[in-house]
């Protein structure tokens, strides 16, 4: 009889949870998110440490940064989470709350205003405790801590026409507004989306190793298939790419011939993003935001993560629960090819500051790769 009572109570609780979720889903709310994860492949294919925040800010001054821009040089990680934006589509006015967690990472910039906290794991008991508002005790290695950002009162107002903040200086930030999403307000701040960025010390679901003959050996180290994996190269403005499509276990790329079309690559990427759940205007806005970065000089992998990997790397809570939710993130893995090493070596020899400034975010792992190659060349065959 006691077992029946317990089972009945559990069944009732389950029904209540389902009913609660259904009531939330009746809102007609659709939420779409896109963002990027940038990393650099070490010689062994794993993500390398690099200066994830060591570049000039490309964001408007109204974006919050909690003072992180003041000590960027002290932060080093394996992944730069760049420009996730969360869009809301609602048939009626709606109030929502949103919470994003970033295990082994920090949220470094965001807009509109939000509640921001950092939790650190106690090494003795494994429990998480919040750091003080001045972030005393923050670990520069980013390990055993979780950045949490929360917008507790997001007012979704379809049909409204608020004035969005705008500055005269150009910024890739504004391209994300070119969608049909509902306007949002948090307090007295208005935007077309929720925006945030961060940095972390986490693995990525692909390894990418450059072989001695220049091929790129890619292994899927994640739990699910990669929906799309593209090898891209730009040398002196001439571009080429190879699209492997969905990758289950791995793929080996031959280097592309540099006779490709950026328009065709853009079309391929847009199609893949739409297939994963983005609306066409969202896919176009994402590519317009990152066109100059994804397609700049150098070699890199551009891939789409499975949504399950995004949820594990970046847990998201939304209340009321949306009827439809899509989270589409693109990974960028910067590759240290022989051409890249040669360009940096020549720039050092010629004191070419312009070229060195171009590679500055990635100079640390490139330098390590050059040192390892130099050490290897000095070894005897027996030592190798």
311-370: per-residue pLDDT in tens? 999 999 999 999 999 999 999 999 999 988 888 888 888 888 888 887 877 888 888 888
Is the pTM higher than 0.85? yes
Question: Does residue 78 fall inside a structural domain?
Answer: yes
Q: Give the per-residue pLDDT at 19.
A: 34
Span 3-9, mean pLDDT? 36
345 and 221 in one domain? Answer: no
Angstrom distances, CA of residue 141 to CA of 48, 52, 144, 201, 361: 13, 12, 9, 7, 17
Question: Does residue 55 fall inside a structural domain?
Answer: yes
Which pair of tokens denotes residue 365?
């792992």
Which pair of tokens denotes residue 166?
């705008």
46 and 79 in one domain? Answer: yes
Span 155-159, mean pLDDT? 97
328 within 8 A of 60, measured Cβ to Cβ: no
179 and 49 in one domain? Answer: yes
Question: Does residue 124 fall inside a structural domain?
Answer: yes
320: closest CA among 87, 115, 101, 154? Answer: 154
30 and 114 in one domain? Answer: yes
Question: Does residue 1 fall inside a structural domain?
Answer: no
96 and 111 in one domain? Answer: yes
3-state secondary structure of 86: strand
Question: Does residue 15 fall inside a structural domain?
Answer: no
* Residue 35, strand partner residues: 329
- How far apart CA 333 and CA 344 sit, in angstroms, is 18
Phi first, then psi: give them for residue 106, nearest 5 degrees.
-130, 145
146 and 43 in one domain? Answer: yes
246 and 118 in one domain? Answer: no
126 and 83 in one domain? Answer: yes
Please state the domain count of the chain. Answer: 3
Question: Does residue 292 fall inside a structural domain?
Answer: no
171 and 314 in one domain? Answer: yes
64 and 169 in one domain? Answer: yes
- How far apart CA 63 and CA 60 sit, in angstroms, is 6
Q: Which residue would you say has higher pLDDT here, 202 or 353? A: 202
Angstrom distances, CA of residue 40 to CA of 108, 229, 231, 279: 20, 16, 14, 29
3-state secondary structure of 371: helix
Phi first, then psi: give them for residue 137, nearest 5 degrees.
95, 0
Question: Does residue 296 fall inside a structural domain?
Answer: no
First to last CA, the chain: 72
Confidence of residue 4 (pLDDT cuts 50, 70, 90): very low
H helices within 53-184, ranges in order? none
72 and 121 in one domain? Answer: yes
192 and 155 in one domain? Answer: yes
- How far apart CA 181 and CA 207 sit, in angstroms, is 35
Name the residue range of residue 160's domain: 26-203+302-330
């Amino acid at each position: 009889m006691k077992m029946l009572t317990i089972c009945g109570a559990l069944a009732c609780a389950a029904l209540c949870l389902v009913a609660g979720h259904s009531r939330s889903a009746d809102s007609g709310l659709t939420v779409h998110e896109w963002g990027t994860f940038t990393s650099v492949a070490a010689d062994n294919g794993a993500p390398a440490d690099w200066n994830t925040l060591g570049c000039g800010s490309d964001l408007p001054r109204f974006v919050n940064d909690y003072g992180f821009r003041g000590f960027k040089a002290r932060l080093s990680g394996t992944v730069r989470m760049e420009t996730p934006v969360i869009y809301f589509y609602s048939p009626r006015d709606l109030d929502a709350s949103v919470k994003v967690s970033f295990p082994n990472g920090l949220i470094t910039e965001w807009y509109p205003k939000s509640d921001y906290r950092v939790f650190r794991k106690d090494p003795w008991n494994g429990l998480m405790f919040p750091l003080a508002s001045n972030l005393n005790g923050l670990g520069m290695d980013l390990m055993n801590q979780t950045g949490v950002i929360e917008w507790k009162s997001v007012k979704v107002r379809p049909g409204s026409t608020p004035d969005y903040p705008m500055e005269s200086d150009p910024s890739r930030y504004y391209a994300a507004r070119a969608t049909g999403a509902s306007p949002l307000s948090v307090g007295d701040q208005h935007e077309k989306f929720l925006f945030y960025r961060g940095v972390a010390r986490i693995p990525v679901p692909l390894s990418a190793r450059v072989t001695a003959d220049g091929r790129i050996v890619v292994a899927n180290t994640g739990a699910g298939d990669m929906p799309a994996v593209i090898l891209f190269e730009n040398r002196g403005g001439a571009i080429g790419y190879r699209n492997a499509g969905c990758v289950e276990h791995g793929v080996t790329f031959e280097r592309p011939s540099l006779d490709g079309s950026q328009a065709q690559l853009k079309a391929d990427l847009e199609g893949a993003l739409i297939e994963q759940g983005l609306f066409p205007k969202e896919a176009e806005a994402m590519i317009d935001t990152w066109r100059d970065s994804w397609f700049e000089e150098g070699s890199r992998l551009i891939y789409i993560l499975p949504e399950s990997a995004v949820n594990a790397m970046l847990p998201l809570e939304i209340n009321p629960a949306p009827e439809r939710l899509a989270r589409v993130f693109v990974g960028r893995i910067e590759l240290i090819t022989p051409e890249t090493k040669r360009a940096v070596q020549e720039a050092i020899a010629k004191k070419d500051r312009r070229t060195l400034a171009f590679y500055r975010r990635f100079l640390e792992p490139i330098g390590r790769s050059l040192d390892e190659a130099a050490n290897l060349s000095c070894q005897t065959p027996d030592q190798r």
